[in-house]
Amino acid sequence: MNQIISEIMSSLNPSVKIHFSAEVLTQNIGEGTMIWQFAVVLAGASIGSNCNINCHTFIENDVRIGNNVTVKSGVYIWDGISIEDNVFIGPNVTFINDRYPRSKQYPEKFQQTIVQYGASLSANATILGGISIGKFALIGAGSVVTKPVPDFAMVMGNPARISGWVDEHGNKLAEADGVWENKAGKKFKVVNQQLISI
């Protein structure tokens, strides 16, 4: 195993930094990515550039992680999960990829979950399998997400429900008479749970 890891390390871009205690078996890691203590990354995983994979994390085989992604400690990313660019995954976020899990029994295909561009998942959120987290969406700490989250939606609770809307910087929009407005004065309305510029 040590020889395999050494061969992988020698094949990576020199800008990739991997702590000596991490077990990284994939060669698909973009430049500038850092992987910290006691992380485990399996051979089939793909990780983009300029990512920060914190300590005590696990990334399975059928996982795609884009560029500029932050994965905080205590996060396990299972088969079937895709993370797009500029996503933040807070500490101890939990992903699920099997709707009816049983020990030593595996589905024909694991549920597919996608976290879209710029979304942020706060600490201890639980993301059920087979759903999509929209672009720039913000998931509140401890939320249990059971259904798809629209772009720019802020959700919280168990089950998670839309409690407001945010802009691409994560700033909460102000609401008055059904019109939502960001700090720059740009206005939006919500139509069929979608934030539309007006």
Q: Where are the domains of the chain?
A: 2-166
Model confidence at 3: pLDDT above 70: no
- Measured between alpha carbons, how far apart are the two ends of the chain, in Å? 57
Confidence of residue 9 (pLDDT cuts 50, 70, 90): low
Quick check: pTM over 0.85? yes
**40 secondary structure, DSSP code:** E
Q: What is the mean pLDDT of residues 144-149?
A: 98
Structure tokens given for 135: 């672009």
CA atoms of 24 and 11, how far apart (whole Å):
12
pLDDT at 5: 59
> Which residues, 6+ apart, have CB-to-CB distance to 19 below 8 Å?
35, 36, 37, 38, 39, 55
pLDDT at 1: 59
**pLDDT for 11-32, tens place per residue?**
677 899 999 999 999 999 999 9
pLDDT at 47: 98
- Give CB contacts under 8 A, 24+ apart, made by 168-175: 168/118, 168/136, 170/120, 170/136, 170/138
Model confidence at 108: pLDDT above 80: yes
pLDDT at 183: 92
Q: Is the Cα torsion angle 85, 87, 91, 96 positive or negative in sign?
A: negative
Peptide bond into 107 cis (omega under 30): no
Q: Which fold has domain 2-166?
A: UDP N-Acetylglucosamine Acyltransferase; domain 1 (2.160.10)
pLDDT at 13: 75
Q: What is the mean pLDDT of residues 95-115?
A: 95
pLDDT at 176: 92
Pairing mode, if any, of strands 126-127 and 94-95? parallel
How many C-beta atoms surround the C-beta of residue 167 within 10 A? 18
Share of the chain above pLDDT 70, in %: 94
